[in-house]
Structure 1
Amino acid sequence: MSPPNAVATPSAAPRRIDWPALATVLTIHLLAATAFSPWLFSWWGVALAIAGCYVFGTLGINLGYHRLLTHRSFRCAAWLEHLLAVLGVCCLEKTPGHFVATHRAHHQHSDREEDPHSPLGSLFWGHVGWVFVENPSLNSAAAYEKYARDVLRDPFYLGLERNLRWVWVYAAHAALFLIAGFGAGWLVSGSAQEALRLGLSVLVWGVFVRTVLVWHITWSVNSIAHTWGYRNYDTRENSRNNFLVGLISNGEGWHNNHHADQRAAAHGHRWWEIDVTYASIRLLRACGLVWDIVPVTAVREAAAAPLHHLQPRSEPPRKKAAAPHAASHRAPELTPRQESKHP
C-alpha cells in the first residue's frame, strides 16, 4: 500500500534559532556523556536509566502527555492525571500544554508545510532540527487556544506555563536523584567521597542519560516512523509502523496505526505489534485507576480527517476506500465504545 504524495517540509521562510532550546539539548547531551567516565559508570546506573525510561518516558510521555492529555484515550482521577503529567515534565519535553498543541497540530497538518516536525524534507529536521528553531505559529496564545484549550482550562497545567515552573520541576527532580544517591552512598560506605561519587552517578544515569534516551525515542517516532516501515492503513500522510521504534518506544512506533485511529488507547493492532504502554493502561484499569478506555476501531471517519473530533477542518474530509483488511475489524461507530466504566 503506497503512501500519499505528501508535500512538505520546513518552510523556506527565514527561521530564528531557539538558543535556549539548543543550549539545553547540547548541555544535557554533554552531561549524559560523562556517564561513561570510569568514576561514574556502573551497571546499576545503566539499569536505573532503563527503568527511568519506563517510569518517566512510557508513563509520563506516552501514557500521560500523549494518550491521555492529547488524545483522551482513557479517563482517570485528576490526581493520577497530574502525577503522569509531572513525570512527563521530568523528561524536559516542555509543558503538557505545549506538547498537546504541537502534537495536535502535527495530526491536523501531518507531512504538510504546517506540520511542526515532518521529516519528508529532512530526516534531521523531523528528528531534532525543529526543536532548535522558534515556531511562532505554535508558541502563541492563539495556538494554545486552538489546540490545547481543554488542557489549559485546568489551573494545574496553566500554572506550569508560568515563570518556567516546568523547568524548576525538572531541576527539583534532578536534585532529588542527587540527594538520594548521596544518601545511599553514605549509608553503604560511610565515606563522603564514595557518597558523592554515587550521588553524581545516580544523577547522571538516572536523569541526564535517561532524558537523552527518552528524547531520542520520542523524536524517532516523529522522524523514523514517518520514513521507514510498513503501513496497515491507507492514511493520507507518510506515517509508518516501524518495528524497532515500536519496541524501544513501548508501542509509540506503531505510528501508522495511531494516525489511522488516533483516539484508540492501543497502538498495536496486530498480534506482533507489542504495545507496553497499552498494557500499562490495562494494568491501571485492573487496579481501578483508569476507565472509559477508547478501543481500536479500524474504519473511522477520523482516519480520513485527522483530529476532526478535536478541531474542525477548513475542508470537508475526503472519502477513502476501506483498506483491504478492514473487514476484519468492527464497523465504524459514531461514538467510540468504551471498554469499561468506572464503578
Structure 2
Amino acid sequence: MVIILFVLILWYGGLFFQSFFLHRYAAHQVFTMSKPMERITFILTWIFQGSSYLSAYGYGIMHRMHHAYTDTEKDPHSPSYDANLFAMMWKTKTIYQDINTDKIDVDPRFTKNVPQWKSFDRFAGSRFSRLLWMSLYVLFFVFFVTAWWQWLLLPITFLMAPIHGVIINWFGHIYGYVNYQMKNTSKNLFRFDFLMMGEGYHNNHHKHASRANFGVKWYEIDMTYVVIKILDAVGVIKLKPIRIKK
C-alpha cells in the first residue's frame, strides 16, 4: 500500500507542476506570479518530477511550437508524422535538449517571457540529479515493497514526465471525443479527467489555448484549474482576464 501511495504522489504531484507551472504558466502565461514564487515553483517542480525533471524554458518553447505547427512536419510531437509513440518520444527529447542547449535557432515569438533559471536547470536536469533521484526511488522500493509485482511500478517513477507527455501528445491526438471541429487531430481523452488533472481536455485546450480552465462542459472538471483558482483567491498567483477564442 505504501508503494502505491508513493507512486500516486509522484504521479499527481509531478503532473500538477507540469500542468500548472510548465504548461499554463511557462508556455501560455494564463496567470502571473512573483519572482520569489516562481523560483519556489521551479524547486517544487524538481522535487515532484525528480528524475524526469523538465525545464520551464525548454518545455514552454516546445509547447508553443506544438500549438503553432500542430500536426505538421514542424510539430515537435505528432502521431501524424511520427511512426510510433517511441519515435515521437525520442524526437521530442531531442528537440527539447536542443532548445535547452541552444543548438537550434528558435523563432523569437516562442521565447517571449518564457521563465528561465539557467543555473538551476543545469543542476536539476543534470545526470547527477537524475541518478540521485533514481537511487532514492530504488531505496524507497527496497524498504517498502511487499510484493514482487510492485517492482513493475519502479520504471514509472523514473519516467513520469515522459509518460504524462505521451498520454496527451500521442493518445490525445488519436482517441477521445471533440467539442470543436478543428484543423488538427486534438481530442478530449475523458469526460471527467481523473487521470491527467485537466490536461486530457486536449481538444478544448487547442481551441482556447489562453484559457486557464481546460474544461468547457459542466462535467469536464479541470482539477488543476480548481487549485489555480484557490491560489489566485489567496494571492499566491494572479489570473489574467479570460480571452475566449470564437
Q: TM-score, normalised by structure 1?
A: 0.59
Q: Aligned ranges for residues 145-160 of structure 1 at < 5 Å?
A: 145-151=108-114, 154=116, 157-160=117-120
**CA 1:205/1:149 → structure 2, altered by over 3 Å: closer, same or farther?**
farther
1:129 Cα offset (Å): 1.7
Match among 279, 288, 292 for residue 239 of structure 2: 292
- The amino acid across from 1:109 in the alignment is Y
How far off is 1:230 after superposition? 1.8
Q: Residue 187 of structure 2 contacts residue 203 of structure 2 at CA under 8 Å; is this kept in 1?
A: yes
Instruction: Report the Cα distance in structure 1 between the residues aligned to 2:8 and 2:54, rounded to whole angstroms.
Output: 21
Query: How many Å separate the matches in 2 of 1:213 and 1:137?
Result: 21
Residue in 1 that maps onto 2:63: 103
Q: 75, 78, 89: which is aligned to 1:115? A: 75
Aligned match for 1:52, one of 10, 28, 34:
10
Decide whether aligned partners of structure 1 residues 277 and 267 sit closer, same or farther in structure 2, where only a CA change above 3 A counts: same
State the match for 1:221 in structure 2. Answer: 168
CA distance 1:231–1:178, shift in 2 (3 Å): closer
Of 31, 34, 56, the residue aligned with 1:74 is 31
Q: Residue type of the partner of 1:166? A: G
SS in 2 for 1:150: coil
Alpha-carbon distance in 1 for matches of 2:63, 2:71: 12
**Cα distance, 1:86 vs structure 2:** 3.2
1:260-275 equivalence runs, <5 A: 260-275=207-222
Distance 2:164 2:90 in 1: 17
Superposed displacement of residue 160, structure 1: 3.9
Given that residues 218 and 249 in structure 1 are in contact (C-alpha distance below 8 angstroms), is that contact kept between their aligned partners in structure 2? Answer: no
Distance in structure 1 (CA, Å) of the matches to 2:176 and 2:243: 21
Cα distance, 1:123–1:46 mapped onto 2, change above 3 Å: farther
Query: Do residues 276 (structure 1) and 218 (structure 2) align?
Result: no
Is 1:94 the counterpart of 2:41? The answer is no
Matched to 2:106, the amino acid is A
Q: Does 2:189 align with 1:242?
A: yes
Is residue 63–residue 84 contact of structure 1 (8 Å, CA) maintained in 2? no
Greater radius of gyration (CA): 1
Q: Which has the higher contact order (CA 8 A, sep 6+)?
A: 2
**Is 1:197–2:109 an aligned residue pair?**
no
CA distance in 2 between counterparts of 1:298 and 1:287 reads 28
Q: Deviations over 1:222-254 (max 9, x none)?
A: 011111222212322111111179331110010
Q: For the structure 1 residues 76 and 169, does the alpha-carbon distance in structure 2 shift closer, same or farther, using more than 3 Å as the test? A: farther
Alpha carbons 1:260, 1:298 under 8 Å: kept? yes
Letter in 1 for 2:9: A
Tell me if the contact between 1:177 and 1:199 (Cα under 8 Å) persists in the aligned partners.
Answer: no
Moved more, 282-291 or 134-143: 134-143
Q: Structure 1: how far apart are the matches of 2:153 and 2:226?
A: 24
Is the contact between residue 52 and residue 206 of structure 1 (CA under 8 Å) also seen in structure 2? no
Identity %, equivalent residues: 21
Query: How many residues in Structure 1 have an aligned counterpart in Structure 2?
Result: 233
- Structure 1 residues 14-34: Cα deviation after superposition (integer angstroms, max 9, x where no partner): xxxxxxxxxxxxxxxxxxxxx
Cα distance change on mapping 1:210 and 1:176 into 2, 3 Å: closer
Corresponding residue for 2:20? 63
- Equivalent-residue separation in structure 2 for 1:142 and 1:74 (angstroms): 27
Please tell me whether the aligned partners of residues 89 and 166 of structure 2 are also in contact (alpha carbons under 8 angstroms): no
Q: Which amino acid aligns with 1:63?
A: F
Q: CA RMSD in A?
A: 3.2
Q: C-alpha separation between the residues in 2 aligned to 1:120 and 1:141?
A: 23
Work out whether residues 261 and 297 of structure 1, in 8 Å CA contact, stay in contact via their aligned partners in 2: yes
Q: TM-score, normalised by structure 2?
A: 0.79
Residue in 1 that maps onto 2:125: 166
Q: What residue ranges of structure 2 are gaps of 5+ in the alignment?
A: none
Q: Are the aligned partners of 2:3 and 2:145 in contact in 1 as well (CA < 8 Å)?
A: no
Whether the 8 Å CA contact 2:198–2:214 is kept in 1: the answer is yes
